[in-house]
Amino acid sequence: MDRPMNTHIQLIGWLNIALGILGLLIAIFAFTILLGVGLISRDNNAMIVLGIIATLVSALLGVLSIPGIIAGYGLLRRRMWARYLALVVGFLNLFNVPLGTLVGGYTIWVLLPEEVAAEFRSGHRGNSILG
């Protein structure tokens, strides 16, 4: 595969990792803010309800962020399963406006062609940092 396509695959790997980490940070931030508001209110019902909401929202954001990190790592290692996972994550990211949409569209544009699939089947890792 030509050098630019290897660069695109590496970039998609790092972008997926970065987007996943950003999602985890947002999950922690949402948990902290929602729980903090509940505690500041000093209302037992508000504390309970916001505690439950904080837990559910942050858990959902965390669970949705982890596949992107895994896919990014796998792409950097040129694993075939990572191509499939990254495509699924890419399609789902299209709904995450605006950053997810950009990364999702870029992921689909790079990873969907058959010549890229052949590259992953060959096991060639390019010049990946994680090589």
Confidence bin at 131 (pLDDT 50/70/90): very low
Q: Would you say 123 and 78 are in contact if contact means Cβ atoms under 8 Å apart?
A: yes
Identify the residue whose tokens are 């790079």: 110
- Position 107 scores a pLDDT of 96
CA angle 47, 56, 75 (to 5 degrees): 145
- Position 115 scores a pLDDT of 85
- Position 45 scores a pLDDT of 93
Per the prediction, the chain carries an average pLDDT of: 90
Mean pLDDT for the stretch of residues 45-51: 93
* pLDDT, tens digit (0-9, with 9 covering 90-100), for 14-30: 999 999 999 999 999 99
Identify the helix (H) or strand (E) that includes residue 116.
Answer: helix 114-122
Per the model's pLDDT, the better-predicted residue between 129 and 113 turns out to be 113
* pLDDT, tens digit (0-9, with 9 covering 90-100), for 87-114: 999 999 999 899 999 999 999 999 999 8
pTM: 0.85
Q: Which amino acid is at 59?
A: A
Mean pLDDT for the stretch of residues 36-56: 93
